[in-house]
Amino acid sequence: MTRHICLHGAESTGKSTLAPRLSARLGAVVVPEYGRLYAEANGTAFEEADLLAIFDGHVAATRAARAERPEWLISDTDPLMTQAWAIMLLGRRLPAIDAWQDTADFYLVPAMDLPWREDGTRLFGSVADRRRFMEVAIGELDRRTLPWAWVEGEGDARLESALAALRAGGLG
């Protein structure tokens, strides 16, 4: 049985750095952040059709990774983050994402204890916007009553925080 962990939360919190580090430690398959790949190819002027394409792309990538039957699967975000983007950018939820049910077993939420860095795909760099985005992201987990834990620290401390959260959540 695959144990599925998802990295979730606001931009520039180290999710994409943490994913391969967790993968190396756990021997996991990583599903990259599909939204970033999409933004790099298509820009960040997201409309509903773009967010639905990101949703579909992430679902397909996760399905392909699961087909490998790994012991551990780490998603660098999932459709719940796409829903957070819809709320932030469009001011509304997307019904197709609300209907999606293939959530992870556990969500790791890196705290905003790292500095925000522009990378050409990020939109919410102000303190207020970043805080609001995190609140919306956490709201997506809470409305579905999904298990999650904060991850804090820098470098090795952040990795150890993630591993400790998995153990505390019964997955490590």
End-to-end CA distance of the chain: 14
Report d(CA 67, CA 102) in Å as an integer.
14
- pTM (predicted TM-score): 0.93
- 89 touches 46 (CB < 8 A): yes
Closest to 152 in 3D by CA, of 138, 140, 164: 164
pLDDT score of 36: 86
User: Radius of gyration over alpha carbons of the chain, in Å?
Assistant: 15
The full set of domain ranges for the chain reads 3-168
Cβ pair 31, 76 in contact under 8 A: yes
Which CATH fold topology does 3-168 show?
Answer: Rossmann fold (3.40.50)
Question: Would you state the pLDDT for residue 113?
Answer: 82
Residues of the chain with pLDDT under 50: none
